[in-house]
Structure 1
Amino acid sequence: MGSLYNFFKEISATKENIGDENTALINEVKNTMRQLKDAEMYFQNVTDPDLVDQAIYNLESLRKKYIYLIKKAKENGINFNNFSSLIS
Structure 2
Amino acid sequence: MDLNIQKNLNIRFLKNAIISKLSGLLVKGKTELTEDREFREIEELLKCIKDAKREWIRANANFEHAVDSEIIDFYAYEIKALQLRYEYLLKKAKEKGIKVNEEGLIV
Give TM-score scaled by structure 1 length.
0.90
Q: C-alpha separation between the residues in 2 aligned to 1:78 and 1:18?
A: 12
Q: C-alpha separation between the residues in 1 aligned to 2:104 and 2:92?
A: 19
Q: How many residues align?
A: 85
SS at match of 2:93: helix
Give TM-score scaled by structure 2 length.
0.75
Corresponding position: 1:37 with 2:57: yes
Alpha-carbon shift at residue 4 of structure 1 (Å): 1.0
Unaligned runs of 5+ in 2: 1-20
Q: Which amino acid aligns with 1:62?
A: L
The alignment-based identity, stated in percent, is: 28
Q: Is the 8 A contact 2:66 2:72 kept in 1?
A: yes
Alpha-carbon shift at residue 38 of structure 1 (Å): 0.5
The residue that corresponds to 2:43 in the other structure is: 23
How well do the aligned residues superpose, as a CA RMSD in angstroms? 1.2
The residue that corresponds to 1:83 in the other structure is: 102
- Structure 1 segments of 4+ aligned residues over 6 angstroms from their partners: none
SS at match of 2:42: helix
Q: C-alpha separation between the residues in 2 aligned to 1:64 and 1:25?
A: 15
Cα shift readout 1:20-65 (whole Å, capped 9, x = no counterpart): 0000000010011110111000111101110111000100110110
The structure with higher relative contact order (CA 8 Å, sep 6+) is 1
Q: C-alpha separation between the residues in 1 aligned to 2:46 and 2:77?
A: 24
